[in-house]
Structures are given as C-alpha cells and as structure tokens.
C-alpha cells in the first residue's frame, strides 16, 4: 500500500489537491483518511469546555489511533474510521468502514507534524497558499458549513489558527517531498504526483 501524506494550512486547498490526484486514478484503488476524523474523543467535557479546545495543536489529534489504523490497512485489514462533528466538537457514534486500497491518501493540517505518521508516508506533500487567501476560505467554510459567526471565526484565527500555523504547520514544509503552490490550478505539480503514484503501482 502506497501512503501519501498531504499537509498544509487551513484553507490552503488540500481537498482540491486530493481530488485532482484522484481524478486520474481508478476509484477502487484509492482511499482517503482525513485527519479531521481523528480529533480526540471528549465526551467527558461539556460543550462549552469542548468549544475552548485548541483544535490546531497536535495534542488535539489522536495520532496513536490514526497510526494504528494505517498499520491495520497496510496489513490488509478493514478499519472503522471515526466520524467527527464540528458542530458538537466531538466524535459521533457512527464510523466509516474503510477497506485497504493500493493508494491511501492521508490529509490534514498536522499530518507531517507527527514523526511516526510522517515515517509511514511514502510521498509527503505540502500545499502552500497565501495567508489572506487561506483566511478568506476559512471564513466562508466555517460560516456556511459549521454555523460559526464572523467574530468567532476571526477571534479563533487570531488567537489559535495563525499562531499554531506558524509554530506547528508551516515548519513541516521542510519534511515535504513536493510543495504545491495552490494559488492557481497547478497541473505540473499534480502530474508529477500522479506519475510517481502510477510508477509505484506498476
């Protein structure tokens, strides 16, 4: 199994890059695991307490479970991927049955921040975008999809998102095999990634 790690700041366009890579590959050969599914379970906390969690810090992620699940998939076993709700700030009781695939894409802002997970990635990609562009995308997404208001999003950006990006996310660019500037549709970078995948799958 070929594991591709795709990191980058919030709103950098990681999901777009994932879809661009997948477009040319057989659907039955590619799977996706999102870091967002692996936020730690926090049922013991109240909603107000959960809302105060710094979700952009590595300690918010259950990397142990994520690594275990990748090991299981590599061994040919099926896993139950958690489902996380950004509305309740907690895992739901549902899971996604995920089968092993020839290519498994693992995407999330902190994918390259964990040494054990990083070592498991055969190809490490960092998606770069202008900070202003990332903020605009984050505003649109959180207001439209996650029920946040403008003041809440801007406050979180200033107090956690921006400092966490500078401390934990941006430095992981140094671990990347490929850096994709995502200010526009970057066909050359995507073609390079696809070529490497195709070569590994032969």
**Contact between residue 13 and residue 138 where contact means Cβ atoms under 8 Å apart:** no
Res. 176 pLDDT band, cuts 50 70 90? very high
Does the pLDDT value for residue 141 go beyond 90?
Answer: no
Which residues constitute the domain of residue 59?
2-201
Residue at token pair 């207001």: 143
- Number of residues that make up the chain: 202
β-strand partners of 103:
2, 30
Total structural domains within the chain: 1
Residue 11 phi/psi, 5-degree rounding, is 75, 15
Find which of 18-32, 88-102, 182-196 is predicted with most confidence, using mean pLDDT: 88-102
Residue 108 phi/psi, 5-degree rounding, is 165, 160
Q: Which of 70-74, 86-90, 102-106, 185-189 shows the lowest per-residue confidence on average (mean pLDDT)?
A: 185-189
Smallest Cα–Cα separation from 174: which of 109, 104, 136, 126?
126
* pTM of the predicted structure, to 2 decimals: 0.87
Parallel/antiparallel/unpaired status of strands 2-8 and 103-107: parallel
Q: In CATH, what number is assigned to the domain containing residue 108? A: 3.40.50.300
3-state secondary structure string across the chain: CEEEEEEECCCCCHHHHHHHHHCCCCHHHEEEEEHHHHECCCCCCCHHHHHCCCCCCHHHECHHHHHHHHHHHHCCCCEEEEEEECCCCEEEEEEEEECCCCEEEEECCCCCCCHHHHHHCCEEEEEECCHHHHHHHHHHHHHHHCCCCHHHHHHHHHHHHHHHHHHHHHHHHHHCCEEEECCCCCHHHHHHHHHHHHHHHC
pLDDT at 6: 95
Torsion of CA 52, 146, 59, 97, to 10 degrees: 140
Does the pLDDT value for residue 135 go beyond 80?
Answer: no
Question: From CA 155, how far away is CA 138, in angstroms rounded?
Answer: 12
């Amino acid at each position: 199994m070929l594991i591709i790690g795709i990191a980058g700041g919030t709103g950098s366009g990681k999901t777009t890059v994932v879809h661009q890579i997948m477009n040319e590959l057989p659907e039955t050969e590619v799977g996706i695991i999102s870091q967002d599914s692996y936020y730690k379970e926090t049922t013991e906390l109240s909603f107000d307490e959960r809302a105060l969690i710094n979700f952009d810090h590595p300690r918010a992620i259950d990397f142990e479970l994520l690594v275990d699940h990748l090991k299981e998939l590599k061994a040919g076993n099926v896993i139950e991927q958690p489902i996380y709700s950004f509305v309740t700030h907690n895992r739901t009781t549902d899971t996604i049955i995920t089968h092993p695939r020839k290519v498994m894409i693992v995407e999330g802002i902190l994918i390259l921040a964990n040494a054990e997970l990083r070592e498991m990635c055969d190809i490490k990609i960092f998606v770069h975008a202008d900070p202003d562009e990332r903020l605009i995308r984050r505003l649109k997404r959180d207001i439209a999809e996650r029920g946040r208001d403008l003041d809440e999003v801007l406050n979180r950006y200033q107090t956690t998102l921006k400092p966490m990006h500078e401390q934990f996310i941006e430095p992981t660019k140094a671990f990347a095999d490929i850096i994709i500037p995502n200010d526009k549709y970057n066909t050359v970078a995507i073609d390079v990634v696809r070529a490497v995948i195709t070569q590994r799958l032969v």
